[in-house]
């Protein structure tokens, strides 16, 4: 097992090196759950990512993931989170930028080509706009989908529903009409509701009055 203290010290050394090298481009750095988290302004994100990728003491050459996080109560509602991996240094680092609904984040596709689909996903699910992305369109939801479903204020029923219209011979979109009174929420699992049925594998339990019937085979061999 690797020495956790040594690894934490190594990560903090990297964080200090990045902060000294990039100066005001780094707003803050801290250790969270054994991982260094750097915070940067949106306009500096490409500069920070390129340094982390190319610097000989960093070598974070893999963008493992990019995602959005929604904090509706904040003025800068969204975090864009970049998770980087250095195979050479055996280290991970996380970079975050905070933006409002109206702010743009420069695309990171020129630094990491893998950012292309990640940014499309963040746009699709959160509505975070990436300036300079050459193909920023939905990737997980349908082309006619309205809104961004991972925002915390997005309604559970959505805004529209689709169906195939036989007369028009095409898919049509209609507003969702769902009466709340007819929605039931039963939080029991399917297994908790089956009190009088014995399932295969439960032969050692109490045999119910109806349901599964014992086979002719007994444990330990045939009769």
For the stretch 127-165, pLDDT in tens is 999 999 999 999 998 877 888 999 998 887 777 887 888
pLDDT at 136 (0 to 100): 94
**69-83, 102-116, 205-219: lowest mean pLDDT where?**
205-219
Here the tokens at position 212 are 């599964």
pLDDT at 32 (0 to 100): 87
Q: Check: CB of residue 111 under 8 Å from CB of residue 125.
A: no
The mean per-residue pLDDT over the stretch 189-216 comes to 58
Cβ atoms within 10 Å of 181's Cβ, excluding its own: 5
The mean per-residue pLDDT over the stretch 167-191 comes to 68
pLDDT at 154 (0 to 100): 86
pLDDT band at 194 (very low <50, low <70, confident <90, very high): low
Q: Rounded to two decimals, what is the model's pTM?
A: 0.72
The mean per-residue pLDDT over the stretch 99-125 comes to 96
% of the chain beyond a pLDDT of 70: 76
Phi, psi of 38 (to 5 degrees): -105, 140
pLDDT at 5 (0 to 100): 63
pLDDT at 219 (0 to 100): 45
pLDDT at 9 (0 to 100): 78
- Cα 169 to Cα 90, 160, 163, distances in angstroms: 56, 19, 10
Mean residue pLDDT of the chain comes to: 83
Domains and CATH numbers, the chain: 4-140 (3.30.460.80), 141-211 (no CATH)
Q: Check: CB of residue 144 under 8 Å from CB of residue 173.
A: yes
- pLDDT: is 152 or 218 the higher one? 152
Exposure string of 148-178, with b = 16+ CB inside 10 Å and e = fewer, is bbbbeebeeeeeeeeeeeeeeeeeeeeeeee
**53-67, 73-87, 146-160, 188-202: lowest mean pLDDT where?**
188-202
3-state SS, residue 119: helix
CA–CA separation, 223 and 212 (whole Å): 19
HSE on the CB side for 97, CA within 13 Å? 27
């Amino acid at each position: 097992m690797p020495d956790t203290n040594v690894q934490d010290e190594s990560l903090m050394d990297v964080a200090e090196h990045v902060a000294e090298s990039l100066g005001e481009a780094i707003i803050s750095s801290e250790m969270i759950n054994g991982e260094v988290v750097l915070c940067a302004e949106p306009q500096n994100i490409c500069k920070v990512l390129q340094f982390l990728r190319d610097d000989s003491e960093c070598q974070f050459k893999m963008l493992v993931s990019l995602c959005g996080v929604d904090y509706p109560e904040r003025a800068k509602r969204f975090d864009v989170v970049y998770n980087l991996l250095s195979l050479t240094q055996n280290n991970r680092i996380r970079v975050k930028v905070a933006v409002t609904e109206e702010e743009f984040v420069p695309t990171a596709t020129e630094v990491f080509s893998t950012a292309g689909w990640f940014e499309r996903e963040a746009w699709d699910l959160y509505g975070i706009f990436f300036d300079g992305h050459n193909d920023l369109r939905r990737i997980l939801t349908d082309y006619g989908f309205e809104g961004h479903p991972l925002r915390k204020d997005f309604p559970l029923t959505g805004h529209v529903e689709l169906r195939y219209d036989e007369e028009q011979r095409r898919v049509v979109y209609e507003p969702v009409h769902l009466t709340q009174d007819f929605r039931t929420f039963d939080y029991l699992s399917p297994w908790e509701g089956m009190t009088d049925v014995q399932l295969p594998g439960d032969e050692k339990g109490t045999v119910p009055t109806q349901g599964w019937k014992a086979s002719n085979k007994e444990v330990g061999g045939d009769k």
